[in-house]
Amino acid sequence: QRFYLGLLLAVSSSVFIGSSFIIKKIGLIRLTKQGHLRASDGGFGYLKDWIWWTGLICMGLGEALNFAAYAFAPASLVTPLGALSVIVAAILSSKFLNERLNVLGKIGCFLCIIGSIIIVIHSPKESVESQNIQQIYNSLGSSAFVIYTVIVIIISLSISCYYGPKYGNKNVIVYIILCSAIGSLTVMGCKILGTAIKDTVNGKSGFNSASPYIVLLITISFIAIQI
């Protein structure tokens, strides 16, 4: 039951996040038609627009649901299901923004759906409720994870200091790699915090040390880098 609760939270998160992009876009288009300076040109009129704020709230709610999903379902299930937000955005943009997907776009959406179904079917159904914060910390101390973390940091610093400034404006894949690399560590941070909160709710000590607070600061930093 906890697995399916996590699955429901992950799917609901994608719906809210996918919808948020469209709602915010509608607000920005509305402001442009009213003669406000575009946000890309330095305008800040969207900060006074209730439609844009509705979209932002939907995104915040979606991210909160996604965060909660990590406490109930495996990260290997929750993270890939985020791709469903692309499907939601594509459908709503066609309905409300008159945007049309080409053949490759439709194939991409189809592959996202098929991939999500395969992930749900074959995702591990182990009882995540048996995992506690200490077990996760022990896993993070393994040599494989330490080596992976070092590799991610080296790649991220290389992109931030050299490849990003030099090639980032020419090829978007440069920043996608940076975002994805840091995102893989962000997932672990969310998993730790979600488990700590779950342990606290269950009467266990999830925040009885400095570690969760350090993870919180690191996770916020990683999210800022991705943005």
Rounded average pLDDT over 77-99:
87
Query: Tell me, what's the pLDDT at 43?
Result: 67
The whole-number pLDDT of residue 57 equals 92
pLDDT score of 58: 92
Closest residue by Cα to residue 177 from 190, 164, 188, 186: 164
Query: Looking at this protein, which amino acid is placed at residue 118?
Result: I
- Which range, of 23-32, 46-55, 76-85, 121-130, averages the lowest pLDDT? 121-130
18-59 tens-digit pLDDT: 999 899 889 888 888 877 766 555 567 777 888 889 998 998
Q: What percentage of the chain exceeds 90 in pLDDT?
A: 15
* Residue 168 confidence (pLDDT): 83
In this prediction, residue 40 carries a pLDDT of 56
204-224 pLDDT, tens digit per residue, is 776 777 888 888 898 888 888
Distance, CA of 222 to CA of 193 (rounded, Å): 14
Residue 70 has pLDDT above 90, yes or no: no
Q: What is the DSSP code (8-state) at residue 201?
A: H
Residue 122: burial class (beta carbons within 10 Å; 0-12, 13-18, 19+):
exposed
Is the distance from CB of 215 to CB of 189 less than 8 angstroms? yes
Q: What is the b/e burial string over 123-151, where b = at least 16 CB atoms within 10 angstroms of the residue's CB?
A: beeeebeebbbeebeeeeeeeeeeeeeee
What mean pLDDT is predicted for residues 105-121? 86
Report which of 73, 69, 111, 115 is spatially closest to residue 90, judged by C-alpha positions: 111
Q: Check whether 131 has a pLDDT greater than 70.
A: no
| Model pTM score | 0.67
The chain-wide mean pLDDT, for the chain, equals: 83
The contacts found for 27-34 with CB under 8 angstroms, 24 or more apart, are 27/51, 27/52, 27/54, 27/55, 28/52, 29/97
